[in-house]
Structure formats: structure tokens, C-alpha cells
Structure 1
Amino acid sequence: MESGDQHVSTRVLTVPNVISLLRLALVPVFAVLVVQGHDLWALGVLAFSGVTDWLDGVLARRLDQVSKLGQVLDPAADRLFILVTLVTLAWRDVVPLWLLGLIVARDVLLLVLLPLLTRHGYGPLPVNFVGKAATFALLYAFPLLLIAEAPGVLGDVSQVLGWAFAWWGVGLYWYSGVLYVVQTRQLLVGEVRR
């Protein structure tokens, strides 16, 4: 199977998959650090996670190690990091519960699509550019909102920038969700017409 010009393998043990698994293992570490108030360490883990998110994609393409498992692991790690970050930040009253609800509702919408796709022989839909941009914006928003807890100018500037990224991220996150619904509909309607 090809993804653009890139071969998609069924290999499990690849460098990018190991990096994605490392990122998944960092999720509970990050959560504990935020809950215990170790914000600088939590920010470090979040920054490292962002670098590994970029790195696994680059290595997958350069080493010709794009895999089916990696195509599932990478977005799963992103979504889990977003969810855990939101839950811990809501728990600390850094972000309101409605923001958590907006993000979770979009992911529930996509989860509802999976059984439909599977029943018709399709796997998870490939991540689209809008979805990647949304994830990027949200993963920038959360550390900034955490830094916004600091007093003074740093906190004030971080709050403005954090909320700007959060609003863009939520808007793009939902827009990408609508694109996935449209894509699912097109696949299923196209199948009925055949």
C-alpha cells in the first residue's frame, strides 16, 4: 500500500514507532508532574514530546519506515497528550471545563465514525493537514496556558498567546472533524453507488 509516494509497511518494530511509544509512555509522567505542581518539569516533558512528534514523522519518511502501526500510534499519542493535558489543566483550574468538553466531543464524534468505516472495510482515515495544524495549535496553547499561571508580564503575555492558540486550535480541530465526517460520507456514498 502506498501513502502518496511512500511505501506503508506492516512492520511493528521501527525507529519512528519506538519514538511514538516513548511519547505515549511520557503521558502519565506529564500528568503526575502537572498534578503535583512541577510545572517546569511538565513543560520540559511537553516540549520533548513535541520534538519527538516531529522527529518520528521525519524519520518515518527519511528511513522509509512509514508503517500502519505508526499511522495509528502517532495520532493516538497526540490525542492522548491533548486529552491528558486538558484534564490536568482543568483539574488545576487553568482551563475551564467547557474547553475540555469541546475537545472531547470532537474526538467522540471521530470515534463514532470508526465502526462505520471498519464495517465497510476501511481503516482509520489519514490525518489531514487541518488536523495537524489543530494539534500543533493546541500543543502550543497548553504550555502557554500553564506558563500564564506565572505572575507578571510573562504570565500576562502567555495567557494572551495561549488563548489565541487555544481558540485557533479548537476551531481547526472541529473543522478537521467536519472534514473527516465529509470524507467518511463520501467513501460510504461512493460505495453504495458502485
Structure 2
Amino acid sequence: MKQSNQWLTCANGVTSIRLLLAPLLAWAVARHRVELGAVVFILAVATDLADGRIARSRGEASALGGVLDHATDALFVSIGLAAYAFRGATPSLLPPVIALAFIQYALDSRALAGHPLRTSRIGRSNGLAYYVLLGLLVLRDAVEGGGSDSIFLYGLGWVLVLTSLVSMVDRGLAWTSTRRAPDLHDGEKEDQSLH
């Protein structure tokens, strides 16, 4: 695939649908349009499940597509959870922590230089858990008609703030240790050359 056409793929088009759905979900949550919120969330999950399969089946899988997929996921859940945070249903700290965790993830993976994203177990679990929390909030609204807040879901939001921060510290420590490793090897070479 030519570099100039990497953005213009069917899979990236499917991924981009979530970009359009994110503000629609936020509007639905803010206006207590619970049916619309549920439909938007289901469409977002469907596009997330479909884009990777489409990319692989059409030979469109690329590091760029992976970055777009993960960035779109982070944006979708951040915007959706921000709308719920505005309503007081989840901690207001969670959406910016999600955004910062993704930025660190992309930079640490050197994704902007075309490298594939490097996931960690806790980061992957957090990514799924963000969708689960958002889905549970949407489901609660659909069942209760946008009713009462849940202490359990609010608490789950705080757990995700903490696990996201742990993941960021873990990635930071791993990045730091990889930056020190060449220095250690250079020092060992110098010691060996002295003997």
C-alpha cells in the first residue's frame, strides 16, 4: 500500500465513524436521550469490533491504522465518560487521565514515527475497562431512564483512575530502564577494554 493512501482505507473509514459518534454520545448523555445514547454506544462497539477484521481481510492493517483505532477509542471513551463526569456519575479526573495515558502510550511506542503500538497487560485491561464502564453507564441510563447515580459505577471510575496511573508509572519506568540499558552496555564495553 502506498504511503499517501494509508489514511484512505475502508478500515480507517469504519474507525472514523467512532469520531463522529463521540460528540453525539456526549450530547445524548447530557440531554438524557437514553435510547440514542444506547444506539450510539452499540454502533461504536460494532465499529471497534469490525475495523480490525476489515483491515486484516483487505490487507489494510498498518501501524497507522492501529494508532488511529486506539486514538479513536481513547477519544470516544474520554468524551463519553466526560459527559457522565459532568453529570456527576463518574470521577471528573478519569477522562483526562485516559487521554494522558493514551498520549504516553503513543509516544512511548514511537507511534508517530510509524512504529506499531506496544501494549501492556494492564494498559490493555484498562482499555477494555473504559468501554465496560461507559457501557454500564449507558445501560444503566437505558434501564432506569437516566435515573440515579450508582456508587458502584462511580467507585469503578476511581479504580480506573488508579489503574491508569499505575499503568502510566509502569510504562514510564519501563521506558526509563530501556533508556539506561544502552548506557550500561557502553559502560561495560569501556570496562572490558581497560582490561
Q: Does the TM-score normalized on the shorter chain lie above 0.5?
A: yes
Structure 2 counterpart of 1:180, which letter? R
**Counterpart residue number, 2:175:** 184
Q: Residues 146 and 112 of structure 1: is their aligned pair in 2 closer, same or farther, counting only changes over 3 Å?
A: closer
Alignment of 1:16-95 (within 5 A): 16-95=11-90
**Greater CA deviation, 57-66 or 170-179?**
170-179
Distance across 2 between alignment mates of 1:130 and 1:115? 17
CA RMSD of aligned residues (A): 3.5
8 Å contact from structure 1 (residues 31, 84) kept in 2:
yes
Structure 2 counterpart of 1:100, which letter? S
Residue number among 138, 142, 145 corresponding to 2:134 in the alignment: 142
8 Å contact from structure 1 (residues 106, 174) kept in 2:
no
8 Å contact from structure 2 (residues 10, 54) kept in 1:
yes
Alignment of 1:97-176 (within 5 A): 99-105=91-97, 107-108=99-100, 111=103, 125-149=117-141, 159=150, 162=153, 166=157, 169-176=160-167
8 Å contact from structure 2 (residues 28, 37) kept in 1:
yes
**Greater CA deviation, 123-132 or 25-34?**
123-132
Question: 1:77: Cα distance to partner?
Answer: 0.8
Distance across 2 between alignment mates of 1:117 and 1:145? 31
Name the larger-Rg structure: 2
Question: 1:188: Cα distance to partner?
Answer: 2.1
Higher relative contact order (CA 8 A, sep 6+): 2
Q: Residues 183 and 54 of structure 1: is their aligned pair in 2 closer, same or farther, counting only changes over 3 Å?
A: farther
In structure 1, the gaps of 5 or more residues are 1-7
TM-score by length of 1: 0.71
Distance across 2 between alignment mates of 1:124 and 1:17? 16
Identical positions, percent: 23
